[in-house]
Every structure is written in C-alpha cells, then in structure tokens.
Amino acid sequence: MTAAAQILDAPGRMCPIDYVYPPSVLARAPDFEAETLYVAGGVYGNLDALDTIERMAGVEPAPPAIVFNGDFHWFDADPDWFAAIERGVAEHRALRGNIETEIAREYDVGAGCGCAYPPDVGEDTVRRSNEIQNALRTVVPAGTRVRLGALPMHLVARVGALRVGIVHGDAASLAGWRFAHDALDGAKARAWLDAVRAASRIDLFSSTHTCLAALRDFVLPSGRLTAINNGSAGMANFSGSTFGVVTRIGLTPSPHRPLYGLVRDGVHIDALAVEFDLPAFLGRFLARWPEGSPAHKSYFRRIVAGPEYEIAAATR
C-alpha cells in the first residue's frame, strides 16, 4: 500500500463501505411532500441554533417540514446536553450523518469520526475530530444508539414541481464531498452530475457535511440540476460572521430575508441566516471544551469569527 493510500485508509479519512449507495436509490416515490421545507445540517449540538430554527419556522404562514440532515450531535459530549439535542431533533424528520452513524455502532470499524476527510485536510484536524468523536461516544445511551443507527441516510421530498434529494454528504455516499463548493466547480463535476441526475431523477439536492455553504445550478444533457449545501446550521459559515445557515425550499417567498437564493419552477430555494444566541452557545461550549481541548482548537475561532470563506464563493 502506498503512503497516500495508507493516509486515506486511516480513522477520520476512510469511507466505510456501508456509507455508499447508488444514486438510483433516490429514483423512488417521494417519502413526503411539503409546501415549505427547512433542511438543517450540521447543528453540531448547538441547542441555541436548534431553538432559533424552530422560531424561524414558527414565523412561516404554515408550519414547514424540518429535516435535520445529519451531524446534529458533535459538541454535546455531556449527558444532559446530548439528551436535550435528542429531544429537539426527535420532533422532526432526521437523517444520520457520519457522527450519528459512528456513535451508533456497537463496534469500532476504524472510521474514527467518519468524516472521510480529503487529503488537503491536515492531520491535526483529523486527529482532533477523532478525539471529539470518542468523547461524544461515551455519553450515548444504549437505546439511543439503536435509534440513531436506524435513521435513514437519505430522503426524497416533493416541493411543488421539484423532486428534492436530501442527503448528508453527496448523491453516492453519506460522507461524500462532491457537493462541496470546490468539487461542484471542478472540471469533472458536470459529467458526474449528469450521470447522477439521470440515475436519480432528482431536480434539487440539499446537503451539508463539508461545513462550507454552496449553491449551484446546472443545465445538463439529462436535465437541470440544482445543488444547495447549507454548510453548518450551528456554526458560523462566512468570514466575519457568527450565524449558522439553514436551507429553505418553498412554494412562497421566505418571510426571512435570504442571504442568497434562486427561484426554479416556481420554487424558492434560499439560504437563511440562523442568528442564534452566541453568548449562550459559547457558555455551554466553553464549559465542556475549554482552551486546549480538541474542539476548542479546531472550532473556537470559527465560532466567534467565521471561517476564511466569503458568500461570493458560496454563490459563484
């Protein structure tokens, strides 16, 4: 095995075989229909973001369907905090992300956090993510492991004329990175997306996992395909900001001012800011993850000042 192959087979980088599915599994009848749909990926244990999303939904003319598409747990490596996230998410539809999948396992398959990090992510980041996952795993009750492991990896919704594929990673893997902003802009993206569109019959994919938001719209031989990635609902997404982002897909304009979006076939596809109570979240975060801890080293700066990423890159 080459050195590069060994790195990609390491915990935090490997992609377990049970994460993989063919895009054709999405060419099914919708699992549900909605006039308005919120997709909130990457809450990461932020109770204040979860509460804010529910308040935002309460302003809608009619109650929207809310889907937590994975990684709603992460920083909540405390029994009471973890249980509070479970109670909040249990009221809505949810997918399991890599975090939920790995803490639900009865035995270790060597995936670490299950992030399937690409080679350009540093080893220190990967190691710290594995450490956070190990800490989180210690607070998960046995019955909750069963519930999390039974959550689906994907859902199909219908909003107006659009078939919406809700995934955690991408159209072929729970921890796939091909809906990342840079992957969508890559030279090989269109051929893969065309094959995905033909096999899945999905018009719009809504994803998360990569932690950076993106919205792209493609006209392909197999038809039009839109992809929106909310980045993170529970952490800052753009330089100089502190708000999370949630995806809204609806038949009517949003009552909240979108950060960006588009209208396709009468359906509004928007990224909305999740302006959660930062001091409240920081207080809970720092009590569990003080300076020097793996989560503090990896995420504190992003939480208080955002990543080095601009809205223009999300909407290019």
C-alpha to C-alpha distance for 200 and 30, rounded to whole angstroms: 12
Contact between residue 93 and residue 155 where contact means Cβ atoms under 8 Å apart: yes
Write down the pLDDT at residue 8. 62
CB distance 22 to 200 below 8 Å: no
Q: Tell me what pLDDT residue 5 has.
A: 43
- Cα gap 298→195, rounded to integer Å: 36
> What is the 8-class DSSP label of residue 149?
H
Per-position pLDDT tens, the chain of length 316: 343 444 567 999 999 999 999 999 999 999 999 999 999 999 999 999 999 999 999 999 999 999 999 999 999 999 999 999 999 999 999 999 999 999 999 888 999 999 999 999 999 999 999 999 999 999 999 999 999 999 999 999 999 999 999 999 999 999 999 999 999 999 999 999 999 999 999 999 999 999 999 999 999 999 999 999 999 999 999 999 999 999 999 999 999 999 999 999 999 999 999 999 999 999 999 999 999 999 999 999 999 999 999 999 999 8
Task: Give the pLDDT confidence score for residue 122 in this predicted structure.
Answer: 95
Residue 201: domain span? 24-115+132-314
- Please work out, in degrees rounded to the nearest 5, the angle formed at the alpha carbon of residue 246 by the alpha carbons of 123 and 173: 50
Position 287 in a domain: yes
Q: Retrieve residue 276's tokens.
A: 């959660």
Sequence-distant (≥ 6) Cβ neighbours of residue 226 within 8 angstroms: 203, 204, 205, 215, 216, 217, 218, 262, 264, 269
191 lies in some domain: yes
Pairing relationship of beta strands 32-33 and 154-159 according to DSSP bridges: parallel
Query: Is residue 239 situated within a structural domain?
Result: yes
CB 214 within 8 A of CB 189: no
Task: Check which CATH number belongs to the domain holding 79 and give it.
Answer: 3.60.21.10
Helices and strands (H, E) in the chain, number of each type: 11, 12
In-domain check, residue 3: no
In a domain, 108, yes or no: yes
Q: What is the pLDDT of residue 306?
A: 98
Residue 2 lies in a domain: no
* The predicted structure's pLDDT at residue 108: 83
CA 34 to chain centre: 20
Domain count, the chain: 1
Residue 1 included in any domain: no
Has residue 97 been placed in a domain? yes
